[in-house]
Structure 1
Amino acid sequence: MTGLAALAMFATWLGVSRRRTAQPSVTEKLSIALPQAPHAGLIHLAAAQGLFESHGLAVTVLAQTHGKAALAALLSGGADMAAAADVPVVIEVLKGAPLGIVAAVASASNELAVLARQDQRGVSPADLQGRRVGVTLGTSGEYFLWAFMVRHRLAPQSLTLVDLPPSELVGALRDGRVDAIAAWQPVRQEAELALGGAVASFTAPDAYAQNYVLAGRSDVLAGRGEALRRLMLALLDAERLVQAFPAKAKTLLAGRLKLGPDALEPAWQALELGVDQQQDQLITLEDIAGWAMARRYAPVQPMPNFLSHLSLDALQAVSPDRVTVVR
């Protein structure tokens, strides 16, 4: 298929998608604190292609650097919803925040990595003992680092963790302020390109099945049922766009994130962009909670019932096959 033919098919698909349902007479409004990250790709694509408007939603996107920052904006009252990895959401729930997860919007099991300097000689995971590791504390990056250490039988206290925002990780590694970093895409690729053969990348496939979720305050979500149903419809349209026109969707997302196509490619390959609420996420949430309490990110307490923090009704109403949670 030529580029022009593919573009024509995409335009036709988009028009049909927008006409599939009658435009609602009343527009619902939502504000979403949204990381400039590939993990939030479905939300970015829906905003870029007018899919929210086609379902009677006026969505204000509040750009954030990463999911933990987006969640902070939500909890401070600056947004109705936020997209973030499951780790910071669990930490806030343990601290008493009344949060509900409306849907998972992306998942990955082999996207995060530990990148270590290997000047003059090779390194192995065991060589990280006693080293300084840059990581954004309280995020999926830190949880992955813990899972990585468990996989390689490294004692957590054998590393010195240096708390850095995602934007400073590559520079700190390059300048020698840290010996290694734990990073997600596209930060991971940026480090690999910046240091070339001077850095070794270590992954731990399936050590952590990361979910990126869309969350809101439970009291707000309870009164926004219609807005949430429309939101789910728009995100399902964005998922269909990714499936039907992956090259076009990737180009659109790269532009939205101000990334070159090559910079986005590793994340695009590693992530599964999809809308669901799966039973197995409850196991992951409990695993993260145990780790978070051990790390003293929240008081030690009985394990919360995370089922009560899943807001299932909106997705159940529009696509019940996407919800496998037992209630």
Structure 2
Amino acid sequence: MSKRHGAAPPWRTAARQGGALNPALAAGLLLLVLLTALAAVAARSAWVARQAPPPAPLEPLAIATNTAYAGTCPVLAAQARGYFRQQGIVATVLSRSSGKAAMEAVLQGQANVATVADIPVMFAGLNDVPVAVIASIFRTERDHGVVGRRDRGVRDPASLKGKRIGVTLDTSGHFALNALINRQGLAPDEVKMRNYKPEELGPALARGEIDAAAGWEPMLGAMLAEQGGNGVAFNSADIYESLYMVAGLRDYIAAHPASMQRLLRALIDGARFCAEQPAAAQALLVSVARHDADQLKAGWPGYHFAVALDQGLLLALEDEARWAMKNQLTPRSDMPNYLNYLYLDGLRAVAPAAVTVIH
């Protein structure tokens, strides 16, 4: 005769029917377990949120640049595609007519950094202006040159002798013009240079105040189109390689090392986009800066986008300084140490292989 240990408790009787768990009660128990787990997760998340520091605020940065110049593509791409914001930067892009004007915006406190060609940086060194280059972002040999009027006897570079040539002095256009006429065996005083702002060159050529105009794209293409069959153009290929850089005041850059690294990372992404997605990059420039699509496409194979600080930049600045001193464009006769005008620490921290300056 088997022993009985008493009747089953009521809760067990309710919970089981025929040896199986009551479905309604099982569902209730499962829901209770889930709610308990969710409450624990929520409590943990709230605790972690209280312990984590608040997100860093986005940093404002004003960048002065010539938006009409193809070399500014890395900046415009970083802005349009959100690379600046990804690095914690709220960028304001200030449009200027040249790199020289963009650098003036920095010197006047209107911008934190500027895109600029090598010539204004070279003159900054000669004039002891404390600027520093954080990186070059673009180079090409085919975007500088001269547009002339056939009805004024301009046919080729040699025919520039004795002609009135409009140019923006102390810019890359000025240096490229000197290199071009020097290749023809002409001295600078064998042409009549007239100083104009970049935006004034086309109207001056159209009015006949000058026989030719020296500058860079896209204004060269615009002047040539305006002249129609009366126009002739020649560029400075194999004579001058244009370098386009990002620079700012030395004290500002040295005081914001983390900001410069974030800026460089965004520009690296922008330059990669411009180099690897040419069709999309050209479309961006057309939409943002109203470039001529056909002209942009034709010149693109000669454009090189990359963020770097290489020895060639240092040598170029020294060569250009010798040119300025030889042509008495400065009272200075000693060579500045242009290594002091390059900020190496930022790019060395972000992309050390991109720094090849010997120092």
Q: Normalising to structure 2: TM-score of the pair?
A: 0.81
- Give the 3 Å change call, closer, same or farther, for CA 26–125 of structure 1 in structure 2: same
Residues in 1 aligned to 2:55 and 2:209: alpha-carbon distance in whole angstroms: 55
The alignment of Structure 1 onto Structure 2 pairs a total of residues equal to: 305
Give the letter aligned to residue 353 of structure 2. D
Residues in 2 aligned to 1:216 and 1:307: alpha-carbon distance in whole angstroms: 15
* Identity within the alignment, %: 36
- Give the 3 Å change call, closer, same or farther, for CA 115–312 of structure 1 in structure 2: same
Structure 1: gaps spanning 5 or more residues: 1-22
Partner of 1:35: 66
**Alpha-carbon displacement from aligned partner over 1:184-218 (angstroms, at most 9, x marks no partner):** 10011111211122122122322112111110111
Residues in 2 aligned to 1:266 and 1:180: alpha-carbon distance in whole angstroms: 23
Residues in 2 aligned to 1:210 and 1:39: alpha-carbon distance in whole angstroms: 10
Residues in 2 aligned to 1:24 and 1:35: alpha-carbon distance in whole angstroms: 33
Q: Secondary structure, in 3 states, of the residue corresponding to 2:159?
A: helix
Greater CA deviation, 76-85 or 122-131?
122-131
Structure 2: gaps spanning 5 or more residues: 1-53
Partner of 2:156: 124
1:151 positional shift: 0.9
Q: Does 1:306 align with 2:338?
A: yes
CA contact (8 A) 1:189 1:266 kept: no
Q: Does 1:145 align with 2:177?
A: yes
1:120 positional shift: 8.4
1:29 positional shift: 2.8
CA contact (8 A) 1:131 1:160 kept: yes
Residues in 1 aligned to 2:157 and 2:91: alpha-carbon distance in whole angstroms: 44
Partner of 2:202: 170
Greater CA deviation, 29-38 or 93-102?
29-38
Q: Rg bigger for which structure?
A: 2
**Alpha-carbon displacement from aligned partner over 1:263-303 (angstroms, at most 9, x marks no partner):** 43344343212211111111110111122233444322310
Partner of 1:61: 93
Partner of 1:254: 286
Q: Does 1:275 align with 2:313?
A: no
Q: Secondary structure, in 3 states, of the residue corresponding to 2:151?
A: coil
Q: Does 1:319 align with 2:348?
A: no
CA contact (8 A) 2:102 2:114 kept: yes
Give the letter aligned to residue 56 of structure 2. S
Partner of 1:102: 134
Give the letter aligned to residue 250 of structure 1. Q
Partner of 1:245: 277
CA contact (8 A) 1:24 1:56 kept: no
Which residue of 292, 300, 318 maps to 2:324? 292
Q: Secondary structure, in 3 states, of the residue corresponding to 1:289?
A: helix
Q: CA RMSD in A?
A: 1.8
Give the letter aligned to residue 315 of structure 1. L
Q: Secondary structure, in 3 states, of the residue corresponding to 1:170?
A: helix
1:138 positional shift: 0.8
Residues in 2 aligned to 1:225 and 1:266: alpha-carbon distance in whole angstroms: 38
CA contact (8 A) 2:173 2:215 kept: yes
Q: Report 1:78-97 matches (<5 A).
A: 78-97=110-129
